[in-house]
């Protein structure tokens, strides 16, 4: 169902009041709402969550996430991208209908324009999001596996240090597909500090030296996948949502090459899933610590 899940929004706003944070390509889903980089880039990242206990102690769940992104800029304010998100679920105590290997493949298109102190961006990204046994058999593809993610974002430069961004986005960062508002004030109080205060993401970046930056961010994290059992006879949707707080350190090892390491914490983890016996459940789990590493090549 389209619309804003206000309980999730409230949790996110509370989180933003507690800390300022930074964004990287580490979400379970595709982040079409975030401003794309101003240059062509190839990036690969890996993140591992520790296992957390389901409510009532009925089992445990952990995640491993791998992401791949390629963004190409043209000379006429167009950018084109392709990417992949791969999530492995490690579950004890429950038998899921899905095999636990979840994929999201996507293509993205960005059109940006700039005039005086104002800017506009339109982004769209069709995606295929499903378990691996569905991906391997095109005959099993379903409309439930198709995602159409989009963003309309306006910008207004208020001064040399402040830029206001606002718009509307539609994606799966809250689990189920939702259309929600974007509002952000980008502020550079000092040459070494950049702060983006807003919704759905808030972040702060500190430039420690010429080649090293440190960042902290908070953002909702989630996705939805169309899944089938091993026999391809049963199907359902697997939905995940959480609130991610993450610190990262980035080293510009070369003019074109960047290495990142991160430490994060997932809060308010929620899962909607179907078990092997066809029962549908909604479960929460304890907060989980995650570690990650990423490399990016700029060209």
- Work out the burial of residue 141: count CB atoms within 10 Å of its CB; fewer than 13 is exposed, 13-18 middle, 19 or more buried: middle
Percentage above 70 pLDDT, the chain: 91
Nearest alpha-carbon partner for 220 in 184, 182, 268: 268
CB neighbours of residue 114 within 10 Å:
12
- The confidence score (pLDDT) of residue 130 equals 97
pTM of the predicted model as reported, rounded to 2 decimal places:
0.88
User: Residue 17 — very low, low, confident or very high, per pLDDT cuts 50/70/90?
Assistant: very low
User: Residue 141 — very low, low, confident or very high, per pLDDT cuts 50/70/90?
Assistant: confident
CATH 3.40.390.10 matches 6-298: no
User: Averaged over 41-54, what is the pLDDT?
Assistant: 97
Per the listing, tokens 């994606």 go with: 171
The residues spanned by each domain of the chain are: 6-298
- Of 3 and 238, the structure prediction assigns the larger pLDDT to 238
């Amino acid at each position: 169902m389209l619309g804003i899940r206000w309980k999730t929004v409230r949790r996110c706003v509370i989180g933003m009041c507690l800390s300022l944070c930074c964004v990287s390509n580490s979400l379970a889903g595709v982040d079409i709402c975030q401003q794309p980089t101003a240059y062509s880039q190839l990036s690969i990242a890996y993140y591992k969550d520790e296992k957390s206990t389901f409510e009532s102690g009925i089992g445990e769940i952990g995640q491993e996430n791998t992401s791949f992104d390629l963004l190409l800029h043209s000379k006429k304010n167009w950018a084109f991208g392709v990417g992949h998100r791969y999530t492995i679920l490690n579950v004890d105590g429950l038998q899921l209908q899905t095999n636990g290997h979840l994929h999201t493949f996507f293509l993205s298109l960005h059109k940006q324009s700039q005039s005086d102190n104002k800017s506009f961006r339109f982004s769209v990204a069709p995606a295929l999001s499903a378990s691996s046994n569905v991906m391997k058999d095109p005959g099993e593809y379903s409309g439930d596996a198709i995602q159409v993610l989009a963003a309309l974002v306006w910008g207004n430069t208020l001064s040399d240090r402040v830029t206001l961004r606002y718009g509307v986005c539609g994606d799966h960062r809250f689990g189920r597909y939702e259309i929600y508002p974007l509002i952000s004030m980008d502020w550079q109080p000092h040459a070494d500090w950049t702060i983006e205060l807003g919704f759905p993401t808030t972040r702060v970046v500190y430039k420690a030296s010429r080649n090293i930056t440190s960042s902290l961010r908070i953002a909702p994290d989630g996705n939805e996948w169309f899944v089938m059992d091993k026999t391809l006879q049963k199907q359902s949707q697997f939905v995940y949502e959480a609130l991610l707080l993450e610190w990262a350190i980035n080293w510009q090892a070369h003019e074109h090459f960047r290495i990142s390491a991160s430490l994060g914490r997932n809060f308010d983890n929620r899962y909607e899933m179907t078990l092997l016996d066809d029962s549908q459940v909604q479960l929460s789990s304890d907060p989980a610590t995650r570690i990650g590493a990423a490399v990016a090549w700029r060209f």
